[in-house]
Amino acid sequence: MSLSLKTSTGILWNLCEQFARRGIGILVTLLLARFLVPEDFGLVAMMAVFIALGSSLMESGFREALIRLEKITQEDYTTAFYANLALGLFSYIILALVAPSIASFYDEPRLVELIRVASLSVIIMSFQVVQVASLSRKLNFKAQLKASFPASIISGAIAIYLAYLGWGVWALVGHTLLNAFLHTALLWRIEAWRPTMQFSWKSAKAMYNFGYKLFLSGMLDTVFQNLYVIVIAKAFSASAAGLYFFATKIRDLIVQQLIVAIQSVTYPALSSVQNDAPRLKLAYKKIVILMTLAMFPMVIFIAAFAQHIFELILPAKWWPAVPYFQLLCAAALMMPLHSINLNILKVKGRSDLFLYLEIIKKLVNGAVLLATYQYGIHAIIIGQIATSVVNYIPNSYFSSKLLGYGIIEQVKDFLPTLLIALVAVAVSYQTVQSLNMSGILLLISAALIACVMYVALLFILKRSAFNVLVNYVQQTRSSAK
């Protein structure tokens, strides 16, 4: 199996794994929304950034360091395991101690107990870092699916039942903890690796020297990804933060699954050919084409028909989130391209450039947020769209330097696909509106029209991308026989 096919197949399996873990989580969220109110989600949004920071500190780049090692030993795995466990305990203690200060910042005393209980998930997840790294090195994302799918189903069902019983925000906290525990337990059952009594400070230092820059980059990214929720919760209300947070989670059903799949698979797969520049560039070029072919029409279609989708599946109390969701989808269109370009830096071992880029981009994001928050939530999200486009420039610059795959060549690969997707969805939207359809019939008809129009336009106007898609499908079918 060729590297590009192996990588793309891994992305599909990882995408399935993401849908099982996050996608089912979003489905659970939709069902929970029938029993909970925006304020419940707002409370979760308020503490989400701090728990995410605790998770980043717990991991500290060790997973990426393990994946990148060309030769790995039991000592390396065991060292990373004990390091993550110690960092997980340290992270929990910090979160428990600062919980009263966080509650005081938001003037929301309920957050103290919520944070101290929800933060237990950080300790639980510290037990799964090495298992995930080991399976990722083998590109065995099918096994990860076998762990995440049952965990998502069981924890989601219990959370819905708790919400039905009137547990409110605690149903969301229970979902987080139970999912983390079940996922970890299943990973340990599937992956045979076990820790021994070995620990090497030399190995820990080598992995940390590579991983800490990624850790700092991740911390910056976590802060700024959640900074919007912090500002909205502080400047507006918990309900407004809940609507924004809810819209973000729904958007992630489409976007974040694909991004995480790209990062998780391309990094270990292409690290194996990090010194073969022509092969590396060709593989990345195909991935850009395939991922934008899949993502652009999906995101644009969901954004265009968001009002119909929300009205069909959600109570009226959540309909005010529709404009937020549509703008967030627009902000997300460039995210897979950011992901691919940043992965090039990790594959090439340039975690220093990765960190510098994150600092520059977050300074830009912070300045734009400072300039827009006073004009309302819509202005904040429009600022996200602008920064997503601007930040693509430095990301692609280093791809050009390290791989010879610069912004002009990348734009030629994805811009026609974006325009074709816009036209196909626009035609679909106008057609179903003129036929005066509604409900599920409208969405099914619109999806069919958009799909046919999209494929036809690709065949006529962008034959090279169409051929890449056809060849990938043929290779995938051949490898499956």
Q: What tens digit of pLDDT does each residue of 122-138 get?
A: 999 999 988 988 887 77
Specify burial of residue 389 (Cβ count, 10 A radius: 0-12, 13-18, 19+): exposed
- Cα separation values, 338 from 289, 342, 391, Å: 14, 6, 8
* Predicted confidence band of residue 11 (pLDDT cuts 50, 70, 90): low
- 183 vs 180: CA distance, rounded Å: 5
* pLDDT of residue 22 exceeding 70: no
Is 290 in contact with 32 (CB distance < 8 Å)?
A: no
The string of DSSP codes covering 5-63 is: HHHHHHHHHHHHHHIIIIIHHHHHHHHHTTTS-HHHHHHHHHHHHHHHHHHHHHHTTHH
Residue with tokens 């419940």: 40
* pLDDT of residue 274 exceeding 50: yes
Q: Which long-range contacts (C-beta less than 8 Å, at least 24 apart) are formed by 320-324? A: 320/243, 321/243, 321/244, 321/246, 321/247, 321/250, 322/247, 323/378, 324/243, 324/244, 324/247, 324/377, 324/378, 324/381
User: Which residue would you say has higher pLDDT here, 231 or 222?
Assistant: 231
Give just the sign of the alpha carbon dihedral 427, 430, 434, 438: positive
Residue 62 is encoded by which pair of tokens? 């060790």
What pTM was computed for the model?
0.73
The SS3 assignment for 228 reads helix
The string of DSSP codes covering 246-277 is: HHHHHHHHHHHHHHHHHHHHHHHHHHTTTT-H
- 139 vs 149: CA distance, rounded Å: 18
The reported pLDDT for the residue numbered 437 is 78
Q: For the chain, what is the domain count?
A: 1
Q: What tens digit of pLDDT does each residue of 360-409 get?
A: 888 888 899 999 998 999 999 999 999 988 888 887 777 777 677 778 88
* Predicted confidence band of residue 113 (pLDDT cuts 50, 70, 90): very high
The reported pLDDT for the residue numbered 475 is 57
The reported pLDDT for the residue numbered 480 is 47
Residue 46 is encoded by which pair of tokens? 């308020």
Residue 408 is encoded by which pair of tokens? 């002009």
Alpha-helix residue ranges (DSSP H) falling in 69-199: 74-106, 111-118, 120-125, 129-137, 141-164, 169-190
Q: What tens digit of pLDDT does each residue of 163-198 get?
A: 999 999 999 999 999 999 999 999 999 988 898 888
The reported pLDDT for the residue numbered 238 is 83
Domain, as residue range, for 31: 3-480
Residue 460 is encoded by which pair of tokens? 């006529």
